[in-house]
Structure 1
Amino acid sequence: MTTNERSPAAPDKESPAWTTPSPWTAWRDATPARIALGRSGDALPTGELLRFGWAHAGARDAIHAQADFDALQAQLQDQHWPAPPLCVRSQAPDRATYLRRPDLGRALAPEDAQRLDELGRASADGFDLCLVIGDGLSALAIERHAVPLLSALRSLLPATLAIAPLVLAEQARVALADDIGQRLRARLSVIALGERPGLSAPDSLGVYLTFSPRVGNTDAQRNCISNVRTEGQTPAQAAARLAWLIRMALKRGESGVALKDESEYAVLDDASPNPRQHGDDE
């Protein structure tokens, strides 16, 4: 039985007469958070225990599921990006190892590292932008939201950007984009991957942007866009914010704590300078 959808047998939120309701019950219509659960004697009502078990199973399924990268690659090819997407793997050989050894998810498998090294050397000036899609901790997140995110993003990017081939990364952690971006000689890397599932959001996508990707970068050098999903920050909204961050990171030559997200106060237009006129740090 899959847990991607609500069980048809899941109980509703109405409490039977023998359950003591919470005074905050009306707030449940405003949030998916687990609030105002009520009680039955000294314990939670049976319905709430069942709902908790269902949500927990959904989170576990999202973490252990294998992403369908073949289907994802086909969908992205239909968007006609400048080059066909590339599929790579981290050094984690399987899902179980990936979950136990986060460090292996931050480095490319040797054969893929060599392949990206060759591609980077073949580009005379390197690339302005490297876009990576990784499974992360929720394959469900990228299967639902990665393609809509990139579709919305593409029309917002300046036509002058030199974009590397899209990279689809299996068993990926956030820092894998540093390894990928450095080998492709990219000025800026962006990775979108599944966030750690919660009990109300097993399909949340996170997006991380890093100027001058290098192995050993810290989280302080990244900007993060979180909770990308239909019920949270929609892919279209996240794409608009990401496009602004990309333009500003390339213009200012910085990201992370040095680049404050002010996208809500800015208007995207085509008047920004050519990214390469500010110099290249390669």
Structure 2
Amino acid sequence: MIPPIARRFVAGETAAAAMDHARQLNDDGVGAILNLLGEHYEARGPADEDADTYRDLLAELGATDLDACISVKPSQLGLDVGEALFRENLGRVVDAAAEHDRFVWVDMEDHTTTDATLDAFETQVRRYPEMGLCLQANLERTPGDVERLADLPGKVRLVKGAYEEPADIAYTDKARVDAAYRDLLELAFETFDGGVAVGSHDPEMIALAGDLHEAYGTDYEVQMLMGVREDAQRELAADGVTVYQYAPYGTRWLSYFYRRVMERKENALFALRAVVSG
């Protein structure tokens, strides 16, 4: 059972709990992106099991009117076992999404997975356009990847990048990453027809997205994590901005919760207060 201290960041251990969370978000005008926790499997069994779980979740979502979709990780679907297994499982998940008319996001992991993820996404989005792919501003290669995706159906989610990457292929200075993110946002708004997702909690980048929408007319949405700036999520939605919350769920919550607590000082203070008050 997930302890109360972790429930700020994790929507529960079961699909039913995650869907209940999605309903609560929808009541506040916010959509849900549901992610089953799990990654870096080194055997086929867990990867196949998670693909099956996603297929079941898509069927359950398809039977509701929830504003909710899913997001999958390549290593969760078997990329660490082999690219062929990842492609097979992603194809099975996309088949279920097409059957139940649901959107599929594909997360991006560290730079060693970028080419395989892009290739698999391109194959799938050509046959089912209700898909989106995450790209990371800290990688120097990303402008070229944005231009590649601009010729495809689907959406792009731009994030600053959470992985520690080698300095010869990535920006490591925060100001430089911010500058790259601003440049990528403008490039995406200028070249994308499918839509742009602003995966950021940074008020400056969210405001810039609104300005770029006015300039280029490109549809966009803001995506934020569960447990981070949730008041801002509701306020943006109330102002007419399309907002989605990335809400993970599942039994593998401990490592995810630890990362959320450690990455931001205010999260660590929240956890400390919860422990002391409990």
TM over 0.5: no
Which has the larger share of helix? 2
Give the number of the structure whose alpha-carbon radius of gyration is greater. 1
TM-score of the aligned structures, taking structure 2 as reference length: 0.32
TM-score of the aligned structures, taking structure 1 as reference length: 0.31
